[in-house]
Structure 1
């Protein structure tokens, strides 16, 4: 993609307003907490302290809107507390520009590294740097800095207290995540009726698993419907796929296929009903026709072999889904997925940061270096320009910068467009109406409430609201009343351009890493398939946890590939070894590889089943082949699977009575061959040698 097309695509994405479900009650709660802090601070301490406390309450509310499964009060307190510390240090060094620039660079670098702990930590850390740039402009003495920092923390405490006292739709995010996973599975069942090899995106189940990870204290208070339903629903998906697959399940045509279509439709109906019940906390009422199809006595007469076993297993699992969704069933998950506390997370985060620091090609490290340099240079530029209040330059830069290209450029355009609208409206109101402290505070609260309401619809809308919020809040304390719309917009434009130039000069392109991502996915899927095949070799001694761990690793690798491919699609660089067509074909082959392993997983033998000893050799050959194949892909060579093919040929000579394991192993080899075919066109060709002269 050329630079012109990339800039056009990112600009359009940044200015897009998405239709999302609004949450007015949560937005009102955040605005109410901010209003309470502003009014009390104005009445007791005056405008300057009120502005500081307002930034703390505002930042805490923003943190509670982040996509995180940690408790919202904890996020609010963490955000407000770190902002208080940041602002206090900023006050101490604010009188010395060199020292303050060094502090800004250090804080921005640490904020960039915070992305190693996840997007939520990265966003909160970057927002702290941006808010610190504004709060330190409020006039105060060094002894009063601690008081301002304390008021910032107080604002966060107020927001956290309101979240605790007035919970809105408790466990609502977790309910939505589980309901989305069930609804996605219902849609998958319906698609299998027409396409027996349809793909399933595992992201809803990954999200549901993250939502189900709770602390010990939360596990004791979690609703019964959220305990166990996800685990049972995950076991439904491979059964659905195996029932529909013509190679392992029902025949491609005839009465057996017709009955399978009826079963899939009934399964979709049951899963949809369970999703609705979980989302709204209502009883599960299964439609009588769906129940009749699933429990029809003639299913065993029409269906044969693996298809009959899959149908019986499907009916049992769906019954368990319904019972656990109503809080009546039992689950084999004796221990919840435990999320460590913030204290226990500290060593994990430090190890992740250390890993990024030692990787010179790390996107997180490059982002940290970029944002540190841009923040310091932006502050110096703003200080040198004759407009005054030059913090608008680094403020814009820090808020738009992200580790990847598309988000940075899209947010830069959205920031400029939103700031143009927000600053124009707010500055015009201030200069024409000259509102006093209380009206300015009220207008700031209104702008913050609008941002809380609209922030998930697009960054442009949020930027307009937050820009107006800053103008009104500083106007409340008597600052920046002399700054015009032109000045603020120009400084914001400079900050956005600075961020864009920094990424162009010191990029972290995802396109050259696509081969590594594909190799990681192949390795994860290959280990998953090998674990499943090995289970057939020793059913009595095999551990199902090995298969489960391999499934989770496979999902993680697949999502990492999809995210990388999406980022690479918007980058203005030419492919280096993996074109778009090859990436699409390779993704199709890898999806089928994971699906083939899943089909075999649906029929994992019980401990009393007769072993298939030859499966051990096939599993070992498969594991060695994918490890070598992953290395070949990284080094731009075409992988081959002769070892697997030879073992399967010997397997055929011995005779394998288990239809599922033999058919599944054949599907695995076919999908590996598809991957080879997808990568053959991308292999470097030897240069033709010049003909020898006679």
Structure 2
């Protein structure tokens, strides 16, 4: 893709608003936190101090709106503390220009490495750099700087206190994540009625798993309706797929298929009802038609037979458990009340050090992002100070808030920030010119802008920047700064900061395109381990391999998600040499999706520990594990993989009536490996036609 086309696509993405569910009460609570801090400091101090103090409450409020499973009060407190430290250190070095530039470079580098911990940590760290640039222009002494830092930290404490006092939608993000998982399975069940091999997007289940990872304190306070429900959702997914697939479930046509479609439709209705109940913390209301189909044992007159009947009965049992558990009643069969443990903040320190240390390599996107920040931020500060525009800190602040570890987000946010800034400044300036509001009216207008920002934050970066720009103009107006001193400079320096961020990425990029083969190889290896673990669980049930299957499934999901994200980023990058053709990438993706589907079907039939073993499955699993590992190495070395040995391993299998499902699964695995191998074969070149010359 050319640079012009890539930048144009990123610009359109940045200007496109998104649909999101609005939460006005939570937005009002965040704006109230800013109002408390601004009101108290206006009463006790001066408008200048109030303007500085507003940054702490404002930024802490922004942190609580990010996607994080940490308690919201903790996010607010940590953000306020980080802002206070960066402000005070910035002031101590601010009197010496060269020293401050060095501190700014070091702080920006550390801020960039925080992206290794996730987007929430990255955003909060970016805010500390932005506040360091702005607030150090306000204090006049060390004592004053310490006071400003304390007021900023108090802003985070106020936001945390309001969350504790007014707990709106307590456990709301966790409820939404679990409800989304059940809703995704309901949609999956409906699609399976028409397409028995429809794909399933595991992201909602992965998100639900992240949401279910809690600290011991959270585990004690977690509502009963959120305990163990994710495990039920995980168990329902392979049962739905196994029932619909003609290879191991209901027949492709006839009464069995009709019964399977009936069960899938009713299961979708039940899962939707469970999702609504979890999201709204209310009892489950299952439609009567669905309840008659899936919540009652059909008895001997059921039209399903053999493995399909066992799968149908298993689905009915799991749906009954989901309905019972979603009401909050304890003791439902099969619900795991153990929790996934999240480390406390104290335990997080060594984990953070290890995570960041793993990213300290030159090919890491996080390290490259940190280096870009450390170079662009001081350069923007120096350039802004050299230009006769005033308020030169707007340029580096824009760069910090725009830059991201990947190309598309950096360029999309750069364009969106400039357009949003222009629109917000224009509107706010028009209000300032038309009404000449005083200190308190400016404060009220700034709070209104904050409330709109919190309300519309998830509708897109462009919309949020309109509110942020208006907020800054009104806040500076409250501090007594005239609009003519800020608006033209802010627009020009915002444009300069955005251009610096884009130029920084162009000069020192972190392209995803060259890493596509590595991501694909990781997915091949992880999917092969998942399939081999499922075969081992059938081959030797007494060995208790269910946990190994679960662990391999999580690895395969993570590898598949990393591959999907890499392809999405690579498709947006202006890089021509992909190292992997689009045809091969698409064909390999389809083959790996089919390969991962086979062990998912086998999960629905994992036998009990006392079940008879399937001896031939164990050597076949070992051969599969070795073949996919060798295939992954071949892909990394730019060689076509060779899975012909799996056909030989299948020929050694001695089929019997007891292992029909496992044998059929092994055949499907070999077929999908053949498709994966074919994805890397070059297409035959068409021969030019030979035309006879006319006599």
TM-based fold match above 0.5: yes
2-structure distance, mates of 1:169, 1:283 = 17
How far the C-alpha of 1:673 sits from its partner, in A, is 1.2
Is 1:349 equivalent to 2:349 in the alignment? no
Partner residue of 1:453 out of 445, 452, 455:
455
How far the C-alpha of 1:299 sits from its partner, in A, is 6.2
2-structure distance, mates of 1:537, 1:616 = 5
- The 1:377–1:299 alpha-carbon spacing in structure 2 relative to 1, beyond 3 Å, is farther
1-structure distance, mates of 2:183, 2:620 = 36
Q: In the alignment, is the contact (CA less than 8 A) between 1:656 and 1:662 conserved in 2?
A: no
Q: In the alignment, is the contact (CA less than 8 A) between 1:177 and 1:207 conserved in 2?
A: yes
Is 1:108 equivalent to 2:108 in the alignment? yes
Moved more, 616-625 or 669-678: 669-678
Please tell me the root mean square deviation across aligned C-alpha atoms, in Å. Answer: 1.6
Q: In the alignment, is the contact (CA less than 8 A) between 1:406 and 1:571 conserved in 2?
A: yes
* Corresponding residue number in structure 1 for 2:340: 337
Q: In the alignment, is the contact (CA less than 8 A) between 2:427 and 2:470 conserved in 1?
A: yes
1-structure distance, mates of 2:408, 2:482 = 33
- The 1:505–1:318 alpha-carbon spacing in structure 2 relative to 1, beyond 3 Å, is same
Moved more, 284-293 or 451-460: 284-293
Q: In the alignment, is the contact (CA less than 8 A) between 2:450 and 2:471 conserved in 1?
A: yes
Is 1:92 equivalent to 2:92 in the alignment? yes
How far the C-alpha of 1:301 sits from its partner, in A, is 4.4
Q: What is the CA deviation profile of residues 355-377 of structure 1, one whole-angstrom value per residue up to 9, with x for unaligned ones?
A: 111x2100000000001100000
Is 1:462 equivalent to 2:492 in the alignment? no
Q: In the alignment, is the contact (CA less than 8 A) between 2:228 and 2:337 conserved in 1?
A: no
How far the C-alpha of 1:482 sits from its partner, in A, is 4.4
Partner residue of 2:539 out of 529, 537, 540:
537
Q: What is the CA deviation profile of residues 402-429 of structure 1, one whole-angstrom value per residue up to 9, with x for unaligned ones?
A: 0000000000000000111112233444
* Corresponding residue number in structure 2 for 1:674: 675
Q: In the alignment, is the contact (CA less than 8 A) between 2:395 and 2:497 conserved in 1?
A: yes
2-structure distance, mates of 1:660, 1:343 = 49
Gaps of 5+ in 1: 685-694
Matches within 5 A, 1:237-252: 237-252=237-252
* Corresponding residue number in structure 2 for 1:496: 498
2-structure distance, mates of 1:217, 1:301 = 47
2-structure distance, mates of 1:301, 1:183 = 27
2-structure distance, mates of 1:84, 1:598 = 50
- The 1:449–1:282 alpha-carbon spacing in structure 2 relative to 1, beyond 3 Å, is same
1-structure distance, mates of 2:559, 2:291 = 37
2-structure distance, mates of 1:446, 1:289 = 48
Matches within 5 A, 1:646-661: 646-652=648-654, 655=656, 657-661=658-662
How far the C-alpha of 1:106 sits from its partner, in A, is 0.8
How far the C-alpha of 1:332 sits from its partner, in A, is 4.2
Q: What is the CA deviation profile of residues 123-153 of structure 1, one whole-angstrom value per residue up to 9, with x for unaligned ones?
A: 1101111122111111421221111100000
- The 1:683–1:536 alpha-carbon spacing in structure 2 relative to 1, beyond 3 Å, is farther
Q: What is the CA deviation profile of residues 203-239 of structure 1, one whole-angstrom value per residue up to 9, with x for unaligned ones?
A: 0001111111111111112111111111012101101
2-structure distance, mates of 1:349, 1:342 = 10
* Corresponding residue number in structure 1 for 2:230: 230
1-structure distance, mates of 2:358, 2:232 = 36
* Corresponding residue number in structure 1 for 2:37: 37
Q: What is the CA deviation profile of residues 264-308 of structure 1, one whole-angstrom value per residue up to 9, with x for unaligned ones?
A: 111111111111111111111222322322235356642221101
Moved more, 215-224 or 148-157: 215-224
Is 1:71 equivalent to 2:74 in the alignment? no
How far the C-alpha of 1:167 sits from its partner, in A, is 1.0
SS at match of 2:542: coil
* Corresponding residue number in structure 1 for 2:157: 157
Moved more, 496-505 or 335-344: 335-344
Moved more, 380-389 or 603-612: 603-612
How far the C-alpha of 1:675 sits from its partner, in A, is 1.2
1-structure distance, mates of 2:482, 2:107 = 25
2-structure distance, mates of 1:87, 1:231 = 45
Q: In the alignment, is the contact (CA less than 8 A) between 2:227 and 2:337 conserved in 1?
A: no
Q: In the alignment, is the contact (CA less than 8 A) between 2:232 and 2:335 conserved in 1?
A: no
2-structure distance, mates of 1:75, 1:656 = 58
SS at match of 2:341: coil
- The 1:627–1:656 alpha-carbon spacing in structure 2 relative to 1, beyond 3 Å, is farther
- The 1:301–1:463 alpha-carbon spacing in structure 2 relative to 1, beyond 3 Å, is closer
Matches within 5 A, 1:74-473: 74-294=74-294, 295-298=296-299, 301-328=302-329, 329-330=331-332, 331-357=334-360, 359-430=361-432, 433-473=435-475
* Corresponding residue number in structure 2 for 1:627: 629
* Corresponding residue number in structure 1 for 2:690: none
How far the C-alpha of 1:433 sits from its partner, in A, is 4.5
* Corresponding residue number in structure 2 for 1:687: none
2-structure distance, mates of 1:305, 1:578 = 44
SS at match of 1:680: coil
1-structure distance, mates of 2:43, 2:287 = 60
* Corresponding residue number in structure 1 for 2:689: none
How far the C-alpha of 1:466 sits from its partner, in A, is 1.0
Q: What is the CA deviation profile of residues 86-128 of structure 1, one whole-angstrom value per residue up to 9, with x for unaligned ones?
A: 0001111112111111111111111100011111100110111
2-structure distance, mates of 1:286, 1:432 = 57
Matches within 5 A, 1:48-63: 48-63=48-63
* Corresponding residue number in structure 2 for 1:580: 582
Q: In the alignment, is the contact (CA less than 8 A) between 2:391 and 2:489 conserved in 1?
A: no
How far the C-alpha of 1:194 sits from its partner, in A, is 0.6
2-structure distance, mates of 1:375, 1:301 = 69
Moved more, 416-425 or 675-684: 675-684
Moved more, 115-124 or 480-489: 480-489
2-structure distance, mates of 1:418, 1:683 = 51
2-structure distance, mates of 1:637, 1:143 = 66
- The 1:683–1:493 alpha-carbon spacing in structure 2 relative to 1, beyond 3 Å, is farther
2-structure distance, mates of 1:133, 1:242 = 58
SS at match of 1:302: coil
Q: In the alignment, is the contact (CA less than 8 A) between 1:415 and 1:459 conserved in 2?
A: yes
Q: In the alignment, is the contact (CA less than 8 A) between 1:636 and 1:683 conserved in 2?
A: no
* Corresponding residue number in structure 2 for 1:689: none
